[in-house]
Structure 1
């Protein structure tokens, strides 16, 4: 008898879920977690040669800038090393790159063949880790290489994203 009561309650619960086409915000949050900005996520096992990070999103309508960082941990005080920081600046159409190791920022790199990001348009960034460098592709085209400054690749275990964009997929 108790089993049939549980089955009836489960069926009622299921029918309530099915009757609401959008579901409640709580249900949506559980089944479809949002990629909110600012975003901070863990890279399982850290980086290694051959590993790729995929970031898909939509640039904001009136963007000023956004940045993507691969870091060693997510600590803020003291901050962990930043293996690569890419900052897209829309006012001067630059994609600045740098790294911070042991609290010291290195020399900033800015040369790119073109600026790939357009306001209110989708993008796909792939960061491929190779032995000596990161290779960065935007919308399938290689944009630049960034040679590793952080010593231990496996310690690069966090991705942080901030600024004028919406995230649609991370992998």
Structure 2
């Protein structure tokens, strides 16, 4: 195994692993549960063809959780947010947005259905294509989010927070 594809900086320190996210074989993460909140480095940043896999279990009584792809140092709270996915369980919405140069854009929330269920496993795949992120949940394409950050390679951090357990990240 080449190593995990996304690493938790909190758990692995400053080591960088060599396996790219675009690898056709998804490597297992080295620990059974990833700690939430999670912050990890995306080796080489994003580019067309690169995919991020997030697997987990929704909390028992969830209010929300979010997944963010950000630019810059993982500790920089003012870093651009290339994509924020926020699952809101009361409203049954998956809100998408981006923050560039300190300005949040227009939220997107239209979906044909809400894919997450309390206390159930899920699989989110974020595929980076030239004009957009294409997001799949449990194998079904859910939506496209067109890039608002111009330099894809600058998108190098993933943050996950909220009412979920992580089981695999690649």
State whether TM-score is above 0.5: yes
Q: Which runs of structure 2 are paired with 1:120-139 in the superposition (5 Å)? A: 120-139=119-138
Paired with 1:170 and 1:146, the residues of 2 have a C-alpha distance of 21
Deviations 1:101-141 (A, max 9, x none): 00000000000110000000000000000000000000000
Distance in 2 (CA, whole Å) between partners of 1:33 and 1:103 is 36
What is the rounded CA distance, in whole Å, between the counterparts of 1:162 and 1:63 in structure 2?
A: 12
Identify unmatched segments of 5+ residues in structure 2: 1-29
Q: Give the structure with the larger helix fraction.
A: 1
| 2:144 is equivalent to residue 145 of structure 1 | yes
Q: Does the CA contact (< 8 Å) of 2:69 and 2:157 recur in 1?
A: yes
| Compared CA separation, residues 122 and 88, structure 1 to 2 (3 A) | same
- Displaced runs of 4+ in structure 1, greater than 3 A? none
Question: How many residues are treated as equivalent by the alignment?
Answer: 140
Q: TM-score, normalised on structure 1?
A: 0.80
Based on CA coordinates, which of the two structures has the bigger radius of gyration? 1
User: Partner residue of 2:108?
Assistant: 109
CA distance in 2 between partners of 1:34 and 1:122 (Å):
13
Q: Which protein has the bigger strand share?
A: 2
Name the counterpart of 1:96: 95
- Segments of structure 1 that go 5 or more residues without pairing to the other structure are 1-30
Q: Superposition RMSD on alpha carbons, in Å?
A: 1.1
Q: Which residue does the alignment assign to 1:75?
A: 75
1:47 aligns with 2:32: no
* TM-score, normalising length: structure 2: 0.80
